[in-house]
Amino acid sequence: MTHRTLLPSRRSVLKGAAAFAAAAIPAWYAEELLAQDAPAVPKSANDIPAYALIGCGGRGRSDAHDAQKFGRIVAVCDVDKSHVEGAALELAQSQREADQKAGRTPARGGAAEIRRYTDFRKLLDAEKNLPIVINGTPDHWHTLVNLAVLHAGKDVYSEKPLTLTIDEGRRLVQAVRQTGRVLQTGTQQRSDPQFRMVCELVRNGRVGKLKTVTTIVPAGLRGGPFASKPVPQNLDWDMWLGQAPKVDFVPERCHTTFRFWYDYSGGTITDWGAHHNDIALWGMGMDGNGPATVDAKRLAEPIPGGYTTVPQYEIKYTWANGVEQTCKTTTADSIFGSLDRQPPPGERHNGIVFEGDQGWIYVRRGFVEASDPELLKKPLPAGAERLYASNDHMGNFFDCVRTRKAPVAEAEIGHRSVSVCHLGAISTRLGRKLKWDPQKEQFVGDDEANKMVAREQRKPWTYDTVVQA
């Protein structure tokens, strides 16, 4: 691997900065971005690391596209054969385009060169020299796949929410430490300079003493009852279910809408909360920590026989530093975060509001607003606290694979951010206020809640069998 071909490209930082400026970045911050290095783009076929995609749905394929600038896809795996085939064809084509764009010799055999698997254990067994995996499976599969990948000696870019339970997160953090592998959580707002800027301003007292943080997430789907259907021929339904309870095939339980079933996910509190509560922790300076109490209110009920996650809720958290956090749903946005309707007066689209005794700042994707525009316009002074600067989430992962540094959304960060969401979901389900000990990662004096820190795993999809895979 030559060093020269991996030098960061200033041109791409410049181009990126222009895009950021359009997305409401003030001039002083855009100026700073010009001085920051972009991730290294391999210029030669010899330098380019190989990677595989496990979980070839919408998001997995999108991640695999992003990775083609920095690596070359050699294998795909999914329990749905039609997704395996579709991803192989699509990614072979886009790999050629990515190689040409980077001035590299394109891959020779196109789609035929991408190896196909329907069982990730077989992929890990056969692809011994493969260094990198992207994990785009549904939430209930993230940890088991991640553990198997880490123990197979590979680095992993894993989609958010990083885990299904808090217990999974603790084990995952330990596995990353034990194996020395690199794990990036797919919370890409950590690599969006607009969110970083707001967190830096808040941490340096721009809104005065921080009093409240409000994270607004889209309301979830409320639907049903749903009927069972025959299992589609291409799908290994039993393996799709994995550790979750065995049930008949119901299309709404499966691709994309699995998010609205507690068996596989947590609803929008884990889906969007994993993004916005992550930024709340970053802005509060609470990475690696957790709240002292959580108290959820259900604002709408699921329909019996339909999606099981609570579609609308308001969750109050208190933090040991005195900050009060609220995570609440908005019905103005789609489940994909698009701004469908004007929110009612006094409410906002999905995003994060940091409010202190001297003002507030609100940030969402592509938009920042403050109680006084001057709060955003004035540069931070020399010596201000600055945060990990990554402007390309996938690029940061590939850089860290090469340098062995911790990525911007390493395992503990991903685990603690989604833990805030899991705590909210547990309080929503139990319907009561809970006390949390963030050091021990246990509820205080509540056995029923503590049982929900972990879940029973359906055999053979237990931690032990997967790690031995």
Ligand X SMILES: NC(=O)c1ccc[n+]([C@@H]2O[C@H](COP(=O)([O-])OP(=O)(O)OC[C@H]3O[C@@H](n4cnc5c(N)ncnc54)[C@H](O)[C@@H]3O)[C@@H](O)[C@H]2O)c1
Binding positions for ligand X, rule: CB under 6 A: 54-60, 77-80, 83, 120, 136-139, 141, 159-160, 186, 188, 239-240, 242, 255-256, 271
234 in Cβ contact with 82 (< 8 Å): yes
Q: Which is nearer to ligand X, 139 or 399 (CB)?
A: 139
Phi, psi of 210 (to 5 degrees): -65, 130
Q: Least distance to ligand X from the beta carbon of 185, Å? A: 9
Q: Least distance to ligand X from the beta carbon of 378, Å? A: 31
CA 117 → CA 78, 82, 96, 120, distances in Å?
7, 12, 21, 7
71 in Cβ contact with 91 (< 8 Å): no
Q: Least distance to ligand X from the beta carbon of 333, Å? A: 14
Element (H, E) at 215: strand 210-218
Q: Least distance to ligand X from the beta carbon of 246, Å? A: 15
CA 346 → CA 54, 342, 343, distances in Å?
43, 11, 8
Separation CA 4–CA 21 (nearest Å): 30
Q: Which is nearer to ligand X, 60 or 291 (CB)?
A: 60
Q: Give the number of residues written for the chain.
A: 469
Q: Least distance to ligand X from the beta carbon of 409, Å? A: 10
Residue nearest to ligand X (CB): 57
Q: Least distance to ligand X from the beta carbon of 263, Å? A: 13
CA 389 → CA 8, 196, 246, 376, 399, distances in Å?
14, 8, 44, 18, 13
Q: Which is nearer to ligand X, 47 or 158 (CB)?
A: 158
156 in Cβ contact with 407 (< 8 Å): no
Q: Which is nearer to ligand X, 192 or 412 (CB)?
A: 192
Separation CA 208–CA 105 (nearest Å): 54
Q: Which is nearer to ligand X, 419 or 434 (CB)?
A: 419
Q: Which is nearer to ligand X, 80 or 127 (CB)?
A: 80
273 in Cβ contact with 424 (< 8 Å): yes
Q: Which is nearer to ligand X, 267 or 290 (CB)?
A: 267
Q: Least distance to ligand X from the beta carbon of 149, Å? A: 11
* 185: helix, strand or coil: strand
134 burial level (CB within 10 Å; 0-12, 13-18, 19+): buried
Q: Which is nearer to ligand X, 120 or 319 (CB)?
A: 120
* 32: helix, strand or coil: helix
Q: Least distance to ligand X from the beta carbon of 120, Å? A: 5
Separation CA 324–CA 117 (nearest Å): 47
Q: Which is nearer to ligand X, 55 or 424 (CB)?
A: 55
Q: Least distance to ligand X from the beta carbon of 79, Å? A: 4
